[in-house]
Amino acid sequence: MHKWEGIDAFVSVVQHGSFSRAADALGVSKSHVSKQIVLLESRLGAQLLVRTTRKLSVTEVGQAFFLRCQDVLTTLTEAEDAVQDLQERPRGRLRITVAGAFGEDFIAPAAADFMGQHPGITIDIDFNNRLVDLIAEGYDIAIRAGTLRDSSLIARRICSRRLVTCGAPGYLERYGSPHDVASLVNHNCLVGTLNSWRFRDQQRNFDLEVNGTWRSNNGRALVHAATSGMGLVQLPDFYIRRAVDDGKLMPVLDRFKPTDTAVWAVYPHNRHLSAKVRLFVNHLAEVLPD
């Protein structure tokens, strides 16, 4: 029995949190993954995973083994990627995490176009609003917008993104158009994931806490509420562009637009950046509208 057999299956199970998702990621059957884990535990003489009908957890020994194996597999992947760089023919699975309509409208089409140019690449896109741990969960790239938190990850700007505050003509006729940021206290502000909106005065960008009778973590739901005349909304321009063009929404507070709301491709600080990641990020920077 080869000493490496079952390790990739074990690492994938821990990263994905289930046998089914690990099997999908590896392109094999769930039964094959389960068999590999059983053989690995038998060879090591230790239980790595605790499996019940409702829960999968990693033992203390399994967690220590996972961390070592993950480092080894990362090194092997980097070695393979170095060869790909020399050949300029990237291959393998590219795992991407992105949130919301921007991913649906822009990243997915760009990824499909990239696959057409590089047939050796397979792509796995996860649409998720949570802040993913790229290294622990095995992602190659995250697409994130706005102001980035400080981290050890590398971020490259791939396109601009403007935040627009707007309301329906009927709402503005009834309640008036806000002339400055302070006057938002007199308006019904339709709230998204955050409790604050972002603006800029003459010197700096800043966040302002707002309140209203509608909250949703879905941008298109917020657009619907705003066009229905329920209140003001602040969203990235790609959400509201069509409604503005059709006259269903009117921008307000334009002179207070923030200036630090770009879209970023974020990826781990590897010693050797893989060809597939480098080429895909370059592709996004070239094809995404600015």
Report mean pLDDT in 10-residue bins for the chain, 290 residues. Answer: 76 89 87 90 89 84 88 77 63 87 89 91 87 83 78 83 93 94 94 89 88 90 95 92 94 87 83 79 87
pLDDT at 290: 66
Element (H, E) at 288: none
273, with CB counted inside 10 A (0-12, 13-18, 19+), is: middle
Question: What are the helix (H) ranges across the chain?
Answer: 7-16, 19-26, 30-44, 60-87, 100-102, 108-117, 134-137, 169-175, 219-227, 237-245, 275-287
Instruction: Extract the runs of DSSP E, i.e. beta strands, from the chain.
Output: 49-51, 56-58, 92-98, 121-127, 141-145, 154-159, 163-167, 189-190, 196-200, 205-209, 232-236, 250-252, 263-267
CB neighbour list of residue 275: distance below 8 Å, 6 or more residues apart:
81, 84, 85, 88, 90
Nearest to 40 by CA among 62, 18, 55, 60: 62
- Residue 187 pLDDT: 95
Q: 0.85 exceeded by the pTM?
A: no
pLDDT for position 85: 60
| 217 CB neighbour count, 10 Å cutoff | 13
Query: What pLDDT is recorded for position 97?
Result: 92
What per-residue confidence (pLDDT) applies to 87? 55
At 55 the three-state DSSP class reads coil
**Quick one: DSSP state of residue 267?**
E
CA distances from 86 to 89, 116, 188, 267 (A): 8, 21, 57, 21
* DSSP 8-state assignment for residue 255: G
What is residue 165's predicted lDDT score, i.e. its pLDDT?
95
Using N-to-C axis directions, what is the helix angle for 108-117 and 275-287, rounded to 10°?
120
